[in-house]
Amino acid sequence: MLTSSIHRFSDAAQGGYPHAANSSAANLTDKTLPKEKWESIKLVAPADLRAEEATDKKPDGIYAWMVIFACFISLMLSIGINDAYGVYQQHYQLNEFPNETATLVSWIGTVQFLIMCIGGVFSGFLCEHFDTRLLNAVGAVIMGASFIGGSFCKSIGGLMATQGFLYGLGASFPFVAGTSIPSQWFTVRRGLATGIALSGSGIGGMWMTSATQALIESLGRPWAMRVTGIVSMTAVLAISPWMRVRLVPSKSERIIDWSLLKDIRFSMFFAAVVFAVAAYFGPFYQIPSYSVVVLHKSEGWGSNMDTLMNGLSVLGRLVVGFMADMVGPLNLLIANTLLAVTSLLVLWVPFESVATLFAVDILFGFAIGGIVSVIPVVAAEVFGLARLPSIIGLLFIGYFIGGLLGVPPMSALLDNVGHRTDYTSSIWYMAMLPVCSLVFLVVMRSLITKRLLIKL
């Protein structure tokens, strides 16, 4: 049975709004529709927009908030653990593998994220064909097993296989489900609900960073990983019964809907996401060691900077999620990307001090939290709900590319240009990534409308 909201959306796609199958979506301009209709326009991409209900539970109700809580916990563990890798990076680089390059050590966390993204592509497809609750539970078991197995590894290769590859594979299920499900369960407070769900990743990164540092100092790295594996597996298993989609497409044979890329606006959005994700992990990975090497602070002080940045990212997710329903998700995505540019290019590049690093932590943490929170909302509002898991899966390819463009080149610059002591070239590279993202977002918005003061 089709919901009335999906009926209205499909009717709009076929009648009230330009449908990509009949006319080029890329040719849409301000002249196409009366000005008063701009606030409600949906930019329909060439994908199957009809969907069927996967459950009799209704949106916007108590059950919907239970789903949000489950997504919150899933992202708190899956992304939170990945965000806390900066502590392991610092520990490996300064203690366990002091003779290895920062580039090689960073590949453990990079592989973790890249496999999470590639796994996310297939997870999006699987979420449209199988019970997401079961997929989430399977992911939880793999997540836990990866860290427990990694606790017995004493080589970078072994850690790359367990903490990197295996964990990324397991975390891809709660990652894609927790990111794409929230928008399906809300029609009124979609931005706020999505922001709350995605704030779990920031909160997870915040407390996981501090907890990981404390566990390593008190129990050692092997037991820190065992505790992390047991906790993550137990918690994600416990909330898996509520990790369910509300809508599934009536027809979906493709793992990746490449037809979306025919829309020039989606191509711009895709490119912007690539550079935004490339910018994401650099500060989280490098600020802890930067604090020790450049500012001569303790390892604990450096990990606390990551904790602070994660805390501000939580605030950014919540604030942007709340405001997205009022001023438009794309507008906020552009504003937060501009704030990220300011924090890195205007503050971190020219200044080298504790005060400046605090300012970078605060501004970048808030900005990047808002960016990751509003990306799925933009995808839902602009390109439709029915195929959102597949759309998010396609964006995960962008995340994968962004992961390759982010930390590895930064670390290579630190090794080969900065000789592991001068972070200048690495910071310059980091700063230019959100600049590129901002350019693509501005182009995307200008293709939609030239009007500035409009909810979009």
CATH code, domain with 132 = 1.20.1250.20
For residues 263 and 389, the answer to whether their CB atoms sit within 8 Å is no
pLDDT of residue 16: 31
pLDDT for the residue numbered 25: 36
6 lies in some domain? no
Q: How far apart are CA 177 and CA 415, in angstroms?
A: 37
**How many folded domains does the chain comprise?**
1
265 vs 445: CA distance, rounded Å: 8
CA torsion sign, 368 to 372 to 374 to 379?
Answer: positive
Report in angstroms the alpha-carbon separations of 19 from 14, 36, 45, 54. 6, 20, 8, 25
Q: For residue 47, give the 3-state DSSP assignment.
A: coil
Strands 51-53 and 247-249: antiparallel
Structural contact between residues 43 and 18, judged by C-beta atoms closer than 8 angstroms: no
DSSP state of 412: H
**Tokens coding 215:** 């566990």
| DSSP 8-state code for residue 241 | G
The predicted pLDDT at position 384 comes to: 66
In a domain, 34, yes or no: no
Whole-number Å distance between alpha carbons of 229 and 237: 12
Residue 35 belongs to a domain: no
Q: What is the pLDDT of residue 333?
A: 95
pTM for the full predicted model: 0.72
> Residue 390: what pLDDT?
63
Measure the CA dihedral 306/312/318/321, to 10°.
-90
Report yes or no: 241 and 67 within 8 Å, Cβ to Cβ.
no
- Give residue 439's identity as a one-letter amino acid code: V
Which one-letter DSSP state was computed for residue 349? T
In a domain, 442, yes or no: yes
The two structure tokens encoding residue 155: 């080589």
Q: Is 390:384 a contact under the CB 8 Å cutoff?
A: no
The SS3 call for residue 197 is helix
Nearest CA-CA partner of 86 in 287, 266, 265, 332: 287
pLDDT tens digit at each of 456 positions of the chain: 323 333 333 333 333 323 333 333 333 333 333 343 334 344 444 444 455 565 667 878 899 999 999 999 999 998 888 878 888 988 998 889 988 888 898 899 889 988 988 887 777 677 767 788 899 999 999 999 999 999 999 999 999 999 999 999 999 889 888 887 887 888 777 778 887 888 888 788 888 888 998 999 999 999 999 999 999 999 999 999 999 887 765 555 556 667 777 889 889 999 999 999 999 888 988 898 899 899 999 888 988 898 888 788 888 888 887 788 788 889 999 999 999 999 999 999 999 999 999 999 999 999 998 898 888 788 877 776 656 656 776 787 888 899 889 888 998 999 899 988 999 999 999 999 999 999 999 999 999 888 887 888
Segments forming the whole domain that contains residue 294? 58-448
Classify residue 44: in a domain, yes or no.
no
